Structure 1
Amino acid sequence: MYLYSEKNLNPMKPLASRRFFFMLIIIVLAGFCSVNAQKKWPYPIPARIGDGTNKDLFVMTLGEVQTPIADGTFDPVKDEIRLKDGRVLSNYYRDSLGVKYYKPIDKTIFPLPPSGLCTWYYYYQDINENEVKWNTDWIAKNLIEYGAKYVQIDDGWQAERANGKHGSRDWTGVDTAFPGGMADLAKYIKSKGLTPGIWIAPHGQSNESVVNRNKGVFILKPDGTSASKTWEGDWLVDGSSAEGNAYMKDLFKMMVDWGYDYFKIDGQPIVPEEYARNKALLKNPGEADEVYRKTLNTIHEAIGPNRYLLGCWGLPVEGAGIMDGTRTGGDVVLGWDGFFTSLGPTMESYYQHNIVWYTDPDVMLLRQPLTLDQARVWATLQGLTGQALMSSDRLMDLSEDRVELMKRVYPAVDIRPLDLFPSQRNKRIWDLKVNHLGREYDVVGLFNFEEGKSESIRLDWKDLGLPEGVPIQVYDFWNHEYMGAWEAGMAIVLPPTSCRVLTLMPNTNDIQLISTSRHITQGWVDLLSINYISDGKQFEGTSHMIGNDPYELAFSYPRGEYYKVQRVKIKDQRKGIRIKIEDHQGWSTVRMESPVSGEVGWEVTFEPADHYKYITRDPGRASAARVGLDGADISWSPQYYLNSGYQVYLDGKLLGYTPETHFPLRNLDPLKTYDVEVKTVWDDGTVSIKPAPTAGAQAAPGLSFSVAAMLPGEFRLTEIGPMVEPRFNFSQTFTFAGKKYTDNIAGWLNTSSEYDLKGLFTHFTAVIGIDDATEGENAGKEVEFIVSGDGKELWRSGSFKKPDTPKNLDINVTGVNILSLKITGPQTRGFGRGGIRAGWAEAKVTR
Structure 2
Amino acid sequence: MKPLASRRFFFMLIIIVLAGFCSVNAQKKWPYPIPARIGDGTNKDLFVMTLGEVQTPIADGTFDPVKDEIRLKDGRVLSNYYRDSLGVKYYKPIDKTIFPLPPSGLCTWYYYYQDINENEVKWNTDWIAKNLIEYGAKYVQIDDGWQAERANGKHGSRDWTGVDTAFPGGMADLAKYIKSKGLTPGIWIAPHGQSNESVVNRNKGVFILKPDGTSASKTWEGDWLVDGSSAEGNAYMKDLFKMMVDWGYDYFKIDGQPIVPEEYARNKALLKNPGEADEVYRKTLNTIHEAIGPNRYLLGCWGLPVEGAGIMDGTRTGGDVVLGWDGFFTSLGPTMESYYQHNIVWYTDPDVMLLRQPLTLDQARVWATLQGLTGQALMSSDRLMDLSEDRVELMKRVYPAVDIRPLDLFPSQRNKRIWDLKVNHLGREYDVVGLFNFEEGKSESIRLDWKDLGLPEGVPIQVYDFWNHEYMGAWEAGMAIVLPPTSCRVLTLMPNTNDIQLISTSRHITQGWVDLLSINYISDGKQFEGTSHMIGNDPYELAFSYPRGEYYKVQRVKIKDQRKGIRIKIEDHQGWSTVRMESPVSGEVGWEVTFEPADHYKYITRDPGRASAARVGLDGADISWSPQYYLNSGYQVYLDGKLLGYTPETHFPLRNLDPLKTYDVEVKTVWDDGTVSIKPAPTAGAQAAPGLSFSVAAMLPGEFRLTEIGPMVEPRFNFSQTFTFAGKKYTDNIAGWLNTSSEYDLKGLFTHFTAVIGIDDATEGENAGKEVEFIVSGDGKELWRSGSFKKPDTPKNLDINVTGVNILSLKITGPQTRGFGRGGIRAGWAEAKVTR
Q: What band does the TM-score fall into relative to the shorter chain?
A: over 0.9
Task: Quote how far apart the aligned CAs of 1:16 are.
Answer: 41
CA contact (8 A) 2:739 2:817 kept: no
CA contact (8 A) 2:300 2:312 kept: yes
Quote the Cα distance in structure 2 between the aligned partners of 1:728 and 1:521: 32
Indicate how the Cα distance of structure 1 residues 19 and 288 shifts in structure 2: closer, same or farther if over 3 A, else same. Answer: closer
Secondary structure, in 3 states, of the residue corresponding to 2:758? Answer: strand
Quote the Cα distance in structure 1 between the aligned partners of 2:750 and 2:464: 44
Task: Quote how far apart the aligned CAs of 1:746 are.
Answer: 1.0
Task: Quote how far apart the aligned CAs of 1:827 are.
Answer: 1.3
Indicate how the Cα distance of structure 1 residues 750 and 296 shifts in structure 2: closer, same or farther if over 3 A, else same. Answer: same
Quote the Cα distance in structure 1 between the aligned partners of 2:235 and 2:4: 71
CA contact (8 A) 2:304 2:317 kept: yes
CA contact (8 A) 1:828 1:834 kept: no
Quote the Cα distance in structure 1 between the aligned partners of 2:420 and 2:229: 46
CA contact (8 A) 1:473 1:483 kept: yes
Equivalent residue number for residue 311 of structure 1 = 300
Once the two structures are superposed, residues 672-702 of structure 1 have per-residue CA deviations (whole angstroms, 9 ceiling, x without a partner) of 0000000000000000001111111110000
1:74 aligns with 2:85: no
Task: Quote how far apart the aligned CAs of 1:747 are.
Answer: 2.8
Equivalent residue number for residue 171 of structure 1 = 160
Task: Quote how far apart the aligned CAs of 1:19 are.
Answer: 42
Task: Quote how far apart the aligned CAs of 1:649 are.
Answer: 0.1
Indicate how the Cα distance of structure 1 residues 441 and 223 shifts in structure 2: closer, same or farther if over 3 A, else same. Answer: same
Indicate how the Cα distance of structure 1 residues 25 and 388 shifts in structure 2: closer, same or farther if over 3 A, else same. Answer: closer
Indicate how the Cα distance of structure 1 residues 28 and 742 shifts in structure 2: closer, same or farther if over 3 A, else same. Answer: closer
Task: Quote how far apart the aligned CAs of 1:35 are.
Answer: 3.8
Secondary structure, in 3 states, of the residue corresponding to 1:462? Answer: coil
CA contact (8 A) 1:531 1:541 kept: yes
Task: Quote how far apart the aligned CAs of 1:247 are.
Answer: 0.1
Indicate how the Cα distance of structure 1 residues 251 and 658 shifts in structure 2: closer, same or farther if over 3 A, else same. Answer: same
1:341 aligns with 2:334: no
Quote the Cα distance in structure 1 between the aligned partners of 2:773 and 2:3: 84
CA contact (8 A) 2:104 2:378 kept: yes
CA contact (8 A) 1:145 1:546 kept: yes
Secondary structure, in 3 states, of the residue corresponding to 1:26? Answer: helix
CA contact (8 A) 2:35 2:55 kept: yes
Quote the Cα distance in structure 1 between the aligned partners of 2:372 and 2:276: 39
CA contact (8 A) 1:22 1:532 kept: no
CA contact (8 A) 1:20 1:534 kept: no
Indicate how the Cα distance of structure 1 residues 21 and 538 shifts in structure 2: closer, same or farther if over 3 A, else same. Answer: farther
Indicate how the Cα distance of structure 1 residues 17 and 503 shifts in structure 2: closer, same or farther if over 3 A, else same. Answer: farther
Quote the Cα distance in structure 2 between the aligned partners of 1:25 and 1:697: 73
Indicate how the Cα distance of structure 1 residues 561 and 16 shifts in structure 2: closer, same or farther if over 3 A, else same. Answer: farther
Task: Quote how far apart the aligned CAs of 1:37 are.
Answer: 2.3
Once the two structures are superposed, residues 204-263 of structure 1 have per-residue CA deviations (whole angstroms, 9 ceiling, x without a partner) of 000000000000000000000000000000000000000000000000000000000000
CA contact (8 A) 1:26 1:531 kept: no
CA contact (8 A) 1:23 1:534 kept: no
Quote the Cα distance in structure 2 between the aligned partners of 1:83 and 1:460: 24
* Ranges of 4+ aligned residues in structure 1 off by more than 4 Å: 12-30
Task: Quote how far apart the aligned CAs of 1:727 are.
Answer: 1.5
Indicate how the Cα distance of structure 1 residues 115 and 16 shifts in structure 2: closer, same or farther if over 3 A, else same. Answer: closer
Quote the Cα distance in structure 1 between the aligned partners of 2:339 and 2:235: 35
Once the two structures are superposed, residues 813-832 of structure 1 have per-residue CA deviations (whole angstroms, 9 ceiling, x without a partner) of 00000000001111166311
Indicate how the Cα distance of structure 1 residues 13 and 691 shifts in structure 2: closer, same or farther if over 3 A, else same. Answer: farther
CA contact (8 A) 1:541 1:601 kept: yes
Quote the Cα distance in structure 2 between the aligned partners of 1:37 and 1:360: 23
Secondary structure, in 3 states, of the residue corresponding to 2:212? Answer: coil
Task: Quote how far apart the aligned CAs of 1:670 are.
Answer: 0.3
1:96 aligns with 2:85: yes
Quote the Cα distance in structure 2 between the aligned partners of 1:756 and 1:634: 23
Task: Quote how far apart the aligned CAs of 1:83 are.
Answer: 0.1
Quote the Cα distance in structure 1 between the aligned partners of 2:231 and 2:15: 55
Equivalent residue number for residue 279 of structure 1 = 268
Indicate how the Cα distance of structure 1 residues 442 and 20 shifts in structure 2: closer, same or farther if over 3 A, else same. Answer: farther
Quote the Cα distance in structure 2 between the aligned partners of 1:339 and 1:394: 18
Indicate how the Cα distance of structure 1 residues 548 and 114 shifts in structure 2: closer, same or farther if over 3 A, else same. Answer: same
Secondary structure, in 3 states, of the residue corresponding to 2:594? Answer: strand
Task: Quote how far apart the aligned CAs of 1:654 are.
Answer: 0.1
Which range moves more in the overlay, 694-703 or 588-597? 694-703
Indicate how the Cα distance of structure 1 residues 540 and 247 shifts in structure 2: closer, same or farther if over 3 A, else same. Answer: same
Q: 2:339 aligns with which of 325, 328, 350?
A: 350
For CA contacts below 8 A with separation 6 or more, give which structure has more relative contact order: 1
1:408 aligns with 2:387: no
Q: 1:746 aligns with which of 713, 735, 754?
A: 735
CA contact (8 A) 2:609 2:689 kept: no
Quote the Cα distance in structure 1 between the aligned partners of 2:666 and 2:415: 32
Once the two structures are superposed, residues 597-635 of structure 1 have per-residue CA deviations (whole angstroms, 9 ceiling, x without a partner) of 000000000000000000000112100000000000000
Task: Quote how far apart the aligned CAs of 1:732 are.
Answer: 2.0
Indicate how the Cα distance of structure 1 residues 29 and 383 shifts in structure 2: closer, same or farther if over 3 A, else same. Answer: closer
Once the two structures are superposed, residues 362-399 of structure 1 have per-residue CA deviations (whole angstroms, 9 ceiling, x without a partner) of 00000000000000000000000000000000000000
Quote the Cα distance in structure 2 between the aligned partners of 1:250 and 1:444: 48
Indicate how the Cα distance of structure 1 residues 101 and 51 shifts in structure 2: closer, same or farther if over 3 A, else same. Answer: same
Once the two structures are superposed, residues 88-113 of structure 1 have per-residue CA deviations (whole angstroms, 9 ceiling, x without a partner) of 00000000000000000000000000
Which range moves more in the overlay, 347-356 or 13-22? 13-22
Indicate how the Cα distance of structure 1 residues 793 and 703 shifts in structure 2: closer, same or farther if over 3 A, else same. Answer: same
Once the two structures are superposed, residues 682-736 of structure 1 have per-residue CA deviations (whole angstroms, 9 ceiling, x without a partner) of 0000000011111111100000000000000000101111111111213421111
Task: Work out the percentage of aligned pairs sharing the same amino acid.
Answer: 100
* Superposition TM-score, scaled by structure 2 size: 0.98
CA contact (8 A) 1:332 1:362 kept: yes
Quote the Cα distance in structure 2 between the aligned partners of 1:791 and 1:29: 55
Quote the Cα distance in structure 1 between the aligned partners of 2:15 and 2:683: 61
Quote the Cα distance in structure 2 between the aligned partners of 1:538 and 1:25: 31
CA contact (8 A) 1:183 1:259 kept: yes
CA contact (8 A) 1:69 1:465 kept: yes
Task: Quote how far apart the aligned CAs of 1:535 are.
Answer: 1.8
Indicate how the Cα distance of structure 1 residues 15 and 741 shifts in structure 2: closer, same or farther if over 3 A, else same. Answer: closer
CA contact (8 A) 1:126 1:156 kept: yes
Quote the Cα distance in structure 2 between the aligned partners of 1:22 and 1:341: 35
Which range moves more in the overlay, 259-268 or 721-730? 721-730
CA contact (8 A) 1:28 1:542 kept: no
Indicate how the Cα distance of structure 1 residues 564 and 22 shifts in structure 2: closer, same or farther if over 3 A, else same. Answer: farther
Which ranges of structure 2 fall in alignment gaps of 5 or more residues?
none
Task: Quote how far apart the aligned CAs of 1:26 are.
Answer: 23
CA contact (8 A) 2:719 2:734 kept: no
Task: Quote how far apart the aligned CAs of 1:32 are.
Answer: 2.4
CA contact (8 A) 1:34 1:436 kept: no
Task: Quote how far apart the aligned CAs of 1:173 are.
Answer: 0.1
Secondary structure, in 3 states, of the residue corresponding to 1:680? Answer: strand
Quote the Cα distance in structure 2 between the aligned partners of 1:206 and 1:14: 45
Once the two structures are superposed, residues 763-810 of structure 1 have per-residue CA deviations (whole angstroms, 9 ceiling, x without a partner) of 000000111111111111111000000000000000111111100000
Indicate how the Cα distance of structure 1 residues 211 and 796 shifts in structure 2: closer, same or farther if over 3 A, else same. Answer: same
CA contact (8 A) 2:207 2:224 kept: yes
Indicate how the Cα distance of structure 1 residues 390 and 30 shifts in structure 2: closer, same or farther if over 3 A, else same. Answer: closer
Task: Quote how far apart the aligned CAs of 1:25 are.
Answer: 26
CA contact (8 A) 1:631 1:664 kept: yes
Quote the Cα distance in structure 1 between the aligned partners of 2:568 and 2:15: 25
CA contact (8 A) 2:738 2:818 kept: no
Q: 2:490 aligns with which of 491, 501, 510?
A: 501
Indicate how the Cα distance of structure 1 residues 823 and 22 shifts in structure 2: closer, same or farther if over 3 A, else same. Answer: closer
Which range moves more in the overlay, 667-676 or 533-542? 533-542
CA contact (8 A) 2:719 2:736 kept: no
Quote the Cα distance in structure 1 between the aligned partners of 2:709 and 2:280: 48
Indicate how the Cα distance of structure 1 residues 224 and 361 shifts in structure 2: closer, same or farther if over 3 A, else same. Answer: same
Quote the Cα distance in structure 1 between the aligned partners of 2:284 and 2:736: 39
Task: Quote how far apart the aligned CAs of 1:15 are.
Answer: 42
Secondary structure, in 3 states, of the residue corresponding to 2:716? Answer: coil
CA contact (8 A) 1:493 1:660 kept: yes
Q: 1:195 aligns with which of 184, 190, 198?
A: 184
CA contact (8 A) 1:21 1:533 kept: no
* Superposition TM-score, scaled by structure 1 size: 0.96
Indicate how the Cα distance of structure 1 residues 301 and 17 shifts in structure 2: closer, same or farther if over 3 A, else same. Answer: closer
Quote the Cα distance in structure 1 between the aligned partners of 2:53 and 2:588: 25
Secondary structure, in 3 states, of the residue corresponding to 2:4? Answer: coil
CA contact (8 A) 1:407 1:519 kept: yes
Task: Quote how far apart the aligned CAs of 1:30 are.
Answer: 6.0
Indicate how the Cα distance of structure 1 residues 752 and 334 shifts in structure 2: closer, same or farther if over 3 A, else same. Answer: same
